[in-house]
Chains A and B, each alone.
Chain A
Amino acid sequence: MSGPVRRPPLVVVLIAVVVIALGETAGAAMSRLRPQIERYAAARVAANAGVHGLSGSAEYDDDVRDRAIFTAEAGLSFFHLHAEGLGLVLFFASTLVASAVPGRTMRGALYVLLTLGGLFPLGYLAYGAAVLEVGRDTGVELAERSILTPLGLAAIAGLLGLVLGLARRRA
């Protein structure tokens, strides 16, 4: 059955556009401000020497610092990549919800889950910052446990709910 393509609530549209815009801006920042970002990351590692296990031995410390900076930059790079992708996923999936999922309650629940899932990329910004502030392994674990896993699960639940909603309408 064909029909009009309905739009989701404006708040959902706004979050999708903002996530895409943040992704684009992060990509530009990564390219244009790379030396500044590296300097900032190195300064944060030096300021949090204890959590990074810096020992005072130049060779060992350089290695630890390089790995922390690399991980923080990877966080920024993942943020760029995921924000572009998940902003689009939120846009298209919520449009499908608005157009093809029956029941106001079900649609509302799916908007909430998909919007939370659309915020998943922000976890990678937190990942990059946490690595610098609380150490590499602790930072990665913290970002994964407290942000990436719950928001990622919300995205998966929202998409599975959309599949169920579409199947229900077909039946």
Chain B
Amino acid sequence: MTAPDPLTWRMPPRWVLLVGVLSIVCAEVAGASMARFKLELARWARGAMLTHPTIHGLVGVRDVDERILDEALVKFDAGLRLFHMHAEGMGLVVIATATVAATLAGPGAARRAIVGLLTIGGAGYPVGYLVWSALIPSQGLERAKTIAEWLVWIPFGSAAIVALWWLAALVAWRIWRP
């Protein structure tokens, strides 16, 4: 058996590639669904908001309520768009950065931790936008945002950021001490 060439990329574990590709697939499907089911989604969100008038501060005056509903629908739509965009990007980020970690980090706990944090953080973070959108009709704008923030964005986003800077430090170390 020959030793691996140090100048070639090593593949990250298969489950990491699977998660990265799945994230991209979900983003594509979400993009297509947003275009195909735009009306249905808006109708569902509007209907759900009307069943929670106090949460949205609806007062029964058409002029006032329509403005509130429009604003919430814009945010609902923005959440879906942001999921589409972030899931596409983060899928690629997971594949690229896990490849760097698999190649340049020595085998052991550090490599497993970096790859794990990159994959779970990177693929989990965009889901926060779906959670935000899904919760807007029942929880209202601010509460939906707070839930998504503490449940998804902060834990998963922090994991991805910590792993990326850890990886950057590791690559810098490899340059400094080849």
Binding site for B on A (CB under 8 A): 4-7, 10-11, 13-14, 16-18, 20-21, 24-25, 27-28, 31, 84-85, 87-88, 91-92, 95, 98
Contacts and interface: CB of A to CB of B under 8 A. Distances in A.
B9 A7 contact: yes
A10 B175 contact: yes
A153 to B, nearest CB: 24
A98 B7 CA distance: 9
Interface stretch (B22-30, B34-42, B51-59, B158-166): B158-166
A92 B96 contact: yes
Interface of B: 5, 7-9, 89, 92-93, 96-97, 100, 103-104, 149, 153, 157-158, 160-161, 164-165, 167-168, 171-172, 174-175
In the complex, which of the residues B9, B157, B160 has the most CB atoms of chain A within 10 Å of its own CB atom?
Answer: B9
A112 B175 CA distance: 17
A10 B104 CA distance: 9
Contacts of A6: 5, 7-9
Contacts of B168: 14, 17-18, 21
Contacts of A20: 93, 96-97, 164
Q: Is the interface of A mostly helix, strand, loop or mixed?
A: helix
A17 B8 contact: no
A14 B171 contact: yes
A71 B165 CA distance: 28
Nearest to B122: A24
Contacts of B171: 10, 13-14, 17
B100 A13 contact: yes
A18 B169 CA distance: 9
A24 B161 CA distance: 6
B104 A13 contact: yes
B96 A91 contact: yes
Contact of B89 (A5, A10, A17, A84): A84
Nearest to A18: B168
A95 B7 CA distance: 11
Nearest to B96: A91
Contacts of B93: 20, 84, 87-88
A17 B161 contact: no
A24 B8 contact: no
A5 B102 CA distance: 14
B157 A10 contact: no
Contact of B161 (A4, A21, A87): A21
